[in-house]
Amino acid sequence: MTFLRTLFLLTSLLFSALSGTPLFASPEQDNILNTIQKKGEITVGVTLLAPWIMKNKEGKLIGFEIDIANQLASDMGVRVRFRQYPWNQLIPALKKGDIDIIASGLSITPKRALEVDFSTPYASSGYGLVSNLNLTKDFTSIKDLNSKKVYIAAVRGTVSADLARRTFPAATIDLRKTAKDATSAVVNGSVHAFISSSPVPEFIALKNPHDVDLPLKKPLLTTKEAFAIRKGNQGMLNFLNAWIIAHDADRWISSSHSYWFNSLKWQTRISEGK
């Protein structure tokens, strides 16, 4: 029996060496929650994207995800430190260990799940549509937009542009260079509608209630946002999921989300042009 155990262990070690996969999880990898608590600080990776993350007039980070991270740190009894990255560098920074967690409006996708572990979702957004009231006043259904006589704006090279083509194949897709250009087009009536990621359509409608509206009750495409952590940290993942369940129940998450996504009150707190 001893010989068989020894043979099994040697075989396992050989497989581990050849495959590059550790036989046992390292204490650091398996106990990131304990590590954060011991050092008294959690490092959070973010990317500037309103209203998830912005800078106020004093240059301090604010936004929905900043509220989320601050509350998470408070409930863990630790300080929070933010590190800002370009969007495409967030996951590499997490995998390298430069940050402990991503809280930056990161949507769950199968491709990303191959690289990181996601918590359960704590927010939902997607891609919506805002339409010009005057041009669509006689429309009775969203299907009326799928006509060659209808012009639908989207920003060139985005998911929104592909979504516009797939959803309204008969319509004329008017690709614009910037969201600002597309916004002006739908407000002044140059196009019938504008497709963009939320909350852009919602904010356009809030700012121009007499010119545009939101004809759909649900997004054309829904996304789910969650925390992302390095793989192999089940203890941390369990804590994050419990945290989300608790603050879903007390409606703290939905209250914060409503402030940042369903109103423009926060705009007085940010610098001009941010």
pLDDT at 270: 86
Assign 81 a pLDDT band (cuts: 50, 70, 90).
Answer: very high
Query: Does 196 or 22 have the greater pLDDT score?
Result: 196
For position 13, what pLDDT does the model report?
41
DSSP for residue 267: G
C-alpha distances in angstroms, 268 versus 8, 65, 222, 245, 271?
Answer: 66, 18, 29, 32, 8
Which pLDDT tens digit goes with each residue over 229-253?
A: 999 999 999 999 999 999 999 999 9
Percentage of the chain modeled with pLDDT above 90: 82
Q: Note the pLDDT of residue 171.
A: 97
pLDDT attached to residue 217: 87
194 alpha carbon, distance to own chain's centre: 21
Residue 22 has pLDDT above 90, yes or no: no
Domains by residue range for the chain, with CATH: 28-122+226-265 (3.40.190.10), 126-222 (3.40.190.10)
CA 12 to chain centre: 40
Contacts of 120 (CB under 8 A, 6+ apart): 226, 240, 241, 244, 245
pLDDT band at 31 (very low <50, low <70, confident <90, very high): confident
Q: Which of 28, 26, 65, 37 is nearest to 239 (CA)?
A: 37
Is the pLDDT at 17 greater than 70? The verdict is no
pTM tops 0.75: yes
The DSSP result for 70-92, as a single string, is HHHHHHHT-EEEEEE--GGGHHH
Closest by CA to 196, choosing from 148, 163, 170, 147, is 163
pLDDT reading at 1 higher than 60: no
At residue 37, φ and ψ (nearest 5 deg) are -65, -35
The predicted pLDDT at position 100 comes to 97
What pLDDT score was predicted for residue 39?
A: 94
More confidently predicted of 130 and 20: 130
pLDDT band at 14 (very low <50, low <70, confident <90, very high): very low
pLDDT, the chain, mean: 89
